[in-house]
Chains A and B, each alone.
Chain A
């Protein structure tokens, strides 16, 4: 029963555009409601039916992902996913995009992205122990791109350093396709004793709904809708739709919420993110199968004259909703007061599954929750699967430069070189838990109060997904898993952020479709479920569209963190080998991009069964104490990986590869030196070990049917591949450290 009288005439096109609803969606809403929605209801519907909140395009596709497993405590659907990591601890984690705000206001866009993902984690009762950020910009030599890059990095540091959660990893790429739409994906990992996991599902009609934290202002109104449309030349004017972060306030909010986590007086907690109060209150009630009534007159404001519409849609940061029994309100408010946090009872849980907003007495919105949360018509493919244009060119790519110069150019490339200029501006050690610091394959953070450690990374190569969305996405999962395996961890679960263009474009829709299928392929093969994620669409402007960008955030467990494995070489005299196949071609490689400015032909092959075997081999070899180092072979291939191990350790290497100097007859072309050294074949690690371990390693490799190719030895002060490449460690390090520096 609705207390709202039917709205006036149907809204104009301009009114619908403001709330980012199509005419058809509007008509569907009116049909479901049996009346025209009023102005406030239209705004609320627009926000909750936005792609950002409703996943109307991606939801049907995401069902393909495996989300269950023995360790999964919470799959997708909550604020974050949670897995059992042993010793009674749950690891809670999620990745989320903040692309659109960061493109408009890089510092605050990135900062509030960090703030938002932190809230998702501590809302579940977990103390955040690590942050990671996956970033993509246009070419770094362009001043505007450097401005965005530096602003985003400063924003991430500004928020994370102030709140005291270490930023331990992430990745960074530069490519033309991100010139107009940068990518800022923030991931947070938290830890909580399993019994204190807190859910965000309202229960108990009559229970009070507390709004805690910042006062509500006009910032961020239409943020959710704004993230669901593509950029045009007026996007700069959207700056008011970007929120401003206050990490100090969030620190207090976090400590207060963690103090209350697991407290029986807390029925549910939910942070305010996209679509502000209406998004959070609706989700809270919908999950609990109840309704909710909010009185906007009781919401503390920082600006005068705000309408109910503005109060409900504001995306002011650092706010939480907490559901408590009426008799516990005072006691819970006292905890917040101790942290100097303001809280008000702004509503109550009701039995009927409706979403009611009052302004003092009168209801200004009364919508059935199922219409609001689940009513949006789901989108299907705009058209049939398009034919992919096949390149007919049979060009065999080689390097345009001598091998030494090739290596140095790759090391100096902003996509491959040292990230130290970035991570040294992030506090990556606060918490006294960072065992493996940023800069290698995956970071390792120990679980306080346990001997276990968590390995974590983000990964995703859009050059591969551009050429082959399905295989490229599977590679992203495999590579993220490989990063974690290299530290000695067992991958347990992943979170993903899918960054794509406008899904109403047929090609984009199918890219998204295929990428999700690829993630599912790899998850199934490796036995790693997806426990949380985020989809960011409409990353395009009138001029360009981003490459399909799949970012995988992987978490693994190390049973004894003291036994983790490093990526850098360990000792002079150790032997080196490649576990996995040798690469042959330069298609889709960083060298191809650097040397020829193209990303052509085919993405690297991926044999998921081989991938699984290679990972098992390395995992078991580390567990058996046979390895002194393990490093994933990724962008830049064997040559760059070997140089990295050398630069990080200060120890050179001397390697011999027969195929480099004596190509097999008739196979000259596929075994070009550049292909072997810099090709980006998958399912490979560079390992080092004491000579005595070789026999056992060979046995283990044979048992897993994994190719193991001895290369040479660690030592000296040069990086040498006999007869092909010989570079001093110093020259390599100089090139590597130059990568992100502004050119003189």
Chain B
């Protein structure tokens, strides 16, 4: 499968994402922010970084990039978009996902391991995981505290749109396991159509045991398998 990786000025996880995708046996193509061309990508990744310096607000400028017009159109047609860290912030700013990511409760940048509990396997990104699985995936951000109003949070839970929650290594959501003070320990959510995922932790940094964890690979594999299955389905019904 082909993963398109967005490159805004200030993006820095683009090469890490490409490395992880290639390691999974899939193809990675870079998508330049000034182009509207998704280069035939099956899934668009919006990687971490400080797009446009995050000068106004994290992700606030990137949503106006020509590339983002193409991404919005792509997701409206059911295409998969996967925002990681700054990419999550961009998706919220672009209103593809509800809520916002604010300054960490600690008021400090945090780069450390975190443990994510899979809350739903009903989206392409976790299709190969089981609900309750605990994945070790690191965080690295200064503005990752997920906030939304109560009604939105209730809706997210009701519609199984909370994909990941920060937990202890044993899988318990205890608040203290959340590195940024996110509401309801939310680490990742999807849109109503379940084809747009935003998550703060960095799965692309957890794709090899040598780097401390290979759990992130399960997400890339999930996406690739889902795409293949959907492709096969489409071909068989054609």
- A contacts, CB < 8 Å to B: 157, 161-164, 246-249, 251-252, 339-340, 423-432, 434-435, 437, 446, 448, 561-562
What would 8 more interface pairs be, CB under 8 Å, given A162-B54, A425-B111? A164-B49, A248-B53, A251-B12, A425-B108, A426-B111, A428-B111, A429-B111, A430-B140
B205 at the interface (CB under 8 A from A): yes
Query: Would B109 and A432 count as touching, CB distance under 8 A?
Result: no
Structural contact, B111 and A248, CB atoms closer than 8 A: no
Q: How far is the CA of A423 from the CA of B113 in the complex (A)?
A: 13
Q: Does B210 contact A (CB under 8 A)?
A: yes
Which of the residues B12, B48, B108, B140 comes within 8 Å of A163, measured between beta carbons?
B12
Q: Which residues of B contact A431 (CB under 8 A)?
A: 15-16
List which B26-84 residues lie within 8 A (CB) of chain A.
Answer: 48-50, 52-55
Q: A248-B52, A248-B53, A434-B211 are in contact. Are A425 and B19 (CB under 8 A)?
A: no
> 6 shortest A-B CB distances, which residue pairs?
A164-B12, A248-B53, A432-B16, A162-B50, A427-B140, A425-B109
Interface check B165, CB cutoff 8 A: no
A339 to B108, CA, bound (A): 30
List residues of chain B with CB within 8 A of the CB of A339: 9
* Cβ–Cβ contact B12 & A424, under 8 A: no
Let me know if B10 is at the binding interface, CB within 8 A.
Answer: yes
- Docked Cα-Cα span, A424 to B104, in Å, equals 13
Q: Looking at the complex, which one of B9, B55, B112, B210 makes contact with A424 (CB distance below 8 Å)?
A: B112
Q: Can you list 15 A-B contacts (CB < 8 A)?
A: A157-B109, A164-B13, A248-B54, A249-B53, A251-B12, A340-B9, A424-B110, A425-B108, A425-B110, A427-B109, A428-B111, A429-B111, A430-B48, A432-B15, A435-B211
Does the CB pair B142–A430 fall under 8 Å? no
- Residue-wise interface mask of B (200-229) relative to A, using a CB-CB cutoff of 8 A (1 in contact, 0 not): 001011010011100000000000000000
Complexed CA–CA distance, A470 and B166 (Å): 52
For residue B10, give the distance in angstroms from its CB to the closest CB of chain A.
5
Chain B neighbourhood of A435, CB < 8 A? 210-211
The yes or no answer to B20 lying at the interface (CB within 8 A) is: yes
Query: Contacts A162-B50, A248-B50, A424-B110 known; A430 to B12 CB distance under 8 Å?
Result: yes
Residues in A neighbouring B13, C-beta threshold 8 A: 164, 430
Known: A164-B12, A434-B211. A427 touches B50 (CB 8 A): no
- Which residue of B has the minimal Cβ distance to A158? B109
Contact of B9 with A252 in the complex, beta carbons under 8 Å? yes
Nearest-neighbor residue (CB-CB) of A153 within chain B: B108
Is the CB–CB distance between B138 and A429 below 8 Å?
yes
CA A435 to CA B53, docked complex, whole Å: 28
B124 smallest CB distance to A (angstroms): 23
How many Å lie between the Cα of A580 and that of B9 in the bound state?
A: 51
Interface set, chain B 72-112, CB cutoff 8 A to A: 108-112
Q: Closest residue to B12 on the A side, CB-wise?
A: A164
Decide: A562 near B210, CB < 8 A? Known: A164-B12, A248-B9, A430-B16.
Answer: yes
Q: Are A432 and B204 in contact (CB under 8 A)?
A: yes
**Which size bracket describes the interface of B in this complex?**
20 to 34
Residues in A whose Cβ lies below 8 Å from that of B109 = 157, 161, 425-427
* A432: B residues at CB distance < 8 A: 15-16, 19-20, 204-205, 207, 211
Give the residue name and chain of the B residue nearest to A127 (CB).
Answer: B15
Closest to B13 in A: A430
What are the residues of chain A within 8 A of B48 when measuring CB–CB? 430
**Complex Cα spacing A561 to B210, Å:** 9
Q: Shortest beta-carbon distance, B37 to chain A, in Å?
A: 15
Q: Is the CB of B9 within 8 A of A251?
A: yes
CB neighbors of A among B99-149 (8 A) = 108-112, 138, 140, 142
Q: Taking the nearest CB of chain A, how far is it from the CB of B142, in angstroms?
A: 7
**Cβ–Cβ < 8 Å partners of A425 in chain B:** 108-111
A247–B52 Cα distance when bound, in Å, is 11
Q: A424-B112, A425-B108, A429-B140 are in contact. Are A248 and B16 (CB under 8 A)?
A: no
Contact B211 A248, beta carbon cutoff 8 Å = no
Chain B residues closer than 8 Å to A429, beta-carbon distance: 111, 138, 140, 202, 205, 211
Q: How far is the CA of A446 from the CA of B209 in the complex (A)?
A: 13
Q: Contacts of B202 on A, CB cut-off 8 Å?
A: 429
Instruction: Report Cα–Cα, A163/B15, bound state, in Å.
Output: 14
A448 to B210, CA, bound (A): 13
Give complex CA distance A434, B105 in Å: 27
Of listed B52, B108, B111, B205, residue having the most chain A CB within 10 A: B111
Given the complex of chains A and B, what is the CA–CA distance between A434 and B16 in angstroms? 12
Closest chain A residue, CB of each to CB of B142: A161
A248 surroundings in chain B (CB, below 8 A): 9-10, 50, 52-55
Q: Looking at the assembled complex, report how far the CB atom of A439 sits from the nearest CB atom of chain B, in whole angstroms.
A: 11
Which residues from chain A contact B16 at a C-beta distance below 8 Å? 430-432
Give a binary string over B14-25; 1 marks a CB under 8 Å from any A CB, 0 the rest: 011001100000
- Residue of B15, B20, B109, B212 with highest tally of chain A CB at under 10 A: B109
**Given A430-B16, A430-B140, A432-B19, are A162 and B53 also a contact pair (CB < 8 Å)?**
yes
Is the Cβ of A427 less than 8 Å from the Cβ of B55?
no
Q: Within 8 Å CB of B212, what residues of A?
A: 437
Bound: A251/B55 CA distance, A? 14
User: How far is A441 from B100 in the complex, measured between Cα atoms in Å?
Assistant: 39
CA distance A428 to B12 in the complex (A): 13
Residue of A with least CB distance to B32: A338
Chain A residues within an 8 Å CB radius of B140: 161, 427, 429-430
Residues in chain A near residue B138, CB distance under 8 A: 429
* Cβ contacts under 8 Å, A246 to chain B: 53
A430 CB contacts on chain B under 8 angstroms = 12-13, 16, 48, 140, 205
> Which chain A positions have C-beta within 8 A of B142?
161
Among A247, A251, A426, A429, which residue has the most Cβ atoms of chain B within 10 A? A429
- Chain A residues with Cβ below 8 Å from B112 are 424
Bound-complex Cα distance A435 to B142 (A): 23
In the complex, the chain A residue whose C-beta lies closest to that of B23 is: A432
Q: Select which of A340, A427, A448 is within 8 A of B111 by beta carbon.
A: A427
Measured CA separation A163–B11 after assembly (Å)? 9
Inside 8 A of A448's CB, which chain B residues have their CB?
A: 19
Please, which residue of chain A has its CB at the minimum distance from the CB of B16? A432
The CA of A162 and the CA of B49, in the complex, are separated in Å by: 7
Q: Give the residue name and chain of the B residue nearest to A248 (CB).
A: B53
Closest to A437 in B: B212
**In the complex, A246 Cα to B138 Cα: how many Å?**
27
Q: Could you tell me the distance between the alpha carbons of A670 and B127 in the complex, rounded to whole angstroms?
A: 66
CB A112 to nearest CB in B, in angstroms, measures 16
Name B204's closest neighbour in chain A (CB-CB).
A432
Among the listed A157, A251, A434, which residue makes an inter-chain contact with B10, where contact means beta carbons less than 8 Å apart?
A: A251
Q: Is the CB of B204 within 8 A of A424?
A: no
- Nearest-Cβ distance from residue B166 to partner chain A, whole angstroms: 15
In the complex formed, the residue of A with least CB distance to B20 is A432
A421 to B, closest residue via Cβ: B108
Residues of A within 8 A of B110 (CB): 424-425
How many angstroms from the CA of A424 to the CA of B109 in the assembled complex? 7
Q: How far is the CB of A254 from chain B (nearest CB, A)?
A: 10
Bound Cα distance from A261 to B54, whole angstroms: 27
Q: How far is the CB of A488 from chain B (nearest CB, A)?
A: 14
A339 to B33: give the CA distance in the assembly, Å.
11
Smallest Cβ-Cβ distance to A429: which chain B residue: B205
Nearest neighbor of A165 in chain B, beta-carbon distance: B12
| Distance between A259 CB and nearest chain B CB, rounded to angstroms | 12
User: How far is it, in angstroms, between the C-alpha of A163 and the C-alpha of B48 when the chains are bound?
Assistant: 11
A103 to B109, CA, bound (A): 23
Tell me which residues across on chain B come within 8 A of A161, comparing CB atoms.
50, 109, 111, 140, 142
Q: How far, in whole Å, are A114 and B86 apart by their CA atoms in the complex?
A: 22
Whole-angstrom CA separation of A428 from B205 in the bound complex: 11
A427 surroundings in chain B (CB, below 8 A): 109, 111, 140
Complex interface: chain B residues within 8 A of A340 (CB): 9
A440 to chain B, nearest CB (A): 14
